[in-house]
A and B are shown apart, each in its own frame.
Chain A
């Protein structure tokens, strides 16, 4: 079974530039997550999709971050404009969690992440 795919793996940009990350979840997984992981910290949820609808985006800095999940499959996360403090690894995860799944023990499968450096 193919895992969660992310691209690019690394990205270096200057502050105030724009950047976009792409995620392809495991086939059939209903739920998709974007996390921000700053060096030395645990992942922080940015946004959660259930199919193509947003479930939770309470920690997404909406003035500069945006995300979409077209057709309930692939997703893109965009930062515009980037700030120095956005330097982090951006992790995408997916889980089977759907209407009939046991949400309490639903496992999230993570992609390798995109390491963003903002200069």
Chain B
């Protein structure tokens, strides 16, 4: 069964600090991995997408890494801001005819001043 596990479930950091979120998956065959940011009361917004051959992708202060051999990904937030408070969801797409998506449960990040 294709699964996506995220850790930690939640974390609290001080403004200006860095943090790293983890995503482990068992989706096979693998097509791509996305990180989404979901603000409270809003729909998810795509931050990064990585295919099999990519091992890092940046979007401003967000940097995602991918190790397709160990089936792990991380999302690093640098110099956190209050607006980074959100849920971050890891989504993995299978390399099948329908490219079905498997969603993680998300990591809730709270940035405090």
Closest chain-B Cβ to A22's Cβ sits at a distance in Å of 15
Q: Which residue of A lies closest to B95 (CB)?
A: A104
Chain B interface residue count, CB cutoff 8 Å, equals 23
Chain A interface residue count, CB cutoff 8 Å, equals 23
Residues of chain B within 8 A (CB-CB) of A105 are: 32, 49, 51
Please, how many angstroms separate the alpha-carbon atoms of A37 and B4 in the complex? 15
Selected from A44, A45, A104, A110, the residue in CB contact (under 8 A) with B43 is A110
Residues of chain A within 8 A (CB-CB) of B32 are: 104-105
The residues of A with any CB-CB pair to B shorter than 8 Å are: 4, 40-45, 48, 55-56, 91, 93, 103-108, 110-113, 115
Beta-carbon contact of A104 and B99 below 8 Å: yes
Residues of chain A within 8 A (CB-CB) of B98 are: 48, 55-56
Beta-carbon contact of A107 and B46 below 8 Å: yes
Closest chain-B Cβ to A28's Cβ sits at a distance in Å of 18
- Most-contacted residue by chain B among A4, A91, A103, A104 (CB, 10 A): A104
Selected from B41, B51, B101, the residue in CB contact (under 8 A) with A45 is B101
Residues of chain A within 8 A (CB-CB) of B4 are: 42
CB of B1 within 8 Å of the partner chain: no
Closest chain-B Cβ to A53's Cβ sits at a distance in Å of 13
Beta-carbon contact of A40 and B43 below 8 Å: no
Supposing A42-B4, A43-B103, A44-B103 touch, asked if A104 and B31 sit within 8 A by C-beta, the answer is yes
Supposing A4-B43, A45-B101, A93-B43 touch, asked if A107 and B49 sit within 8 A by C-beta, the answer is yes
